[in-house]
Amino acid sequence: DQQVKQNSPSLSVQEGRISILNCDYTNSMFDYFLWYKKYPAEGPTFLISISSIKDKNEDGRFTVFLNKSAKHLSLHIVPSQPGDSAVYFCAATPIVNRDDKIIFGKGTRLHILP
Partner 1 sequence: DTGVSQNPRHKITKRGQNVTFRCDPISEHNRLYWYRQTLGQGPEFLTYFQNEAQLEKSRLLSDRFSAERPKGSFSTLEIQRTEQGDSAMYLCASSLASIYNYGYTFGSGTRLTVV
C-alpha 4, offset from chain centre? 10
Using CB under 8 A as the binding rule, whether residue 92 contacts partner 1 is answered as no
Any contact of residue 89 with partner 1 (CB under 8 A)?
yes
CA 53 centroid distance within chain: 17
Strand partners, 58: 63
51 binds partner 1 (CB under 8 A): yes
The answer to the question of residue 26 lying near partner 1 (CB under 8 A) is: no
Given the DSSP bridges, would you call strands 10-14 and 108-113 parallel, antiparallel or unpaired? parallel
Within residues 30-49, the interface with partner 1 by CB under 8 A covers 32, 34, 36, 41-46, 49
Q: Which residues pair with 77 in a beta bridge?
A: 19, 62
In angstroms, the CA 35 to CA 52 distance is 14
Could you say whether residue 83 binds partner 1 (CB under 8 A)?
no
DSSP state of 114: -
Residue closer to partner 1 by CB (options 79, 102) is 102
Contact between 25 and partner 1 by CB under 8 A: the answer reads no
> Under the rule (CB under 8 A), what is the footprint of partner 1?
4, 6, 9, 32, 34, 36, 41-46, 49, 51, 89, 91, 93, 99-107
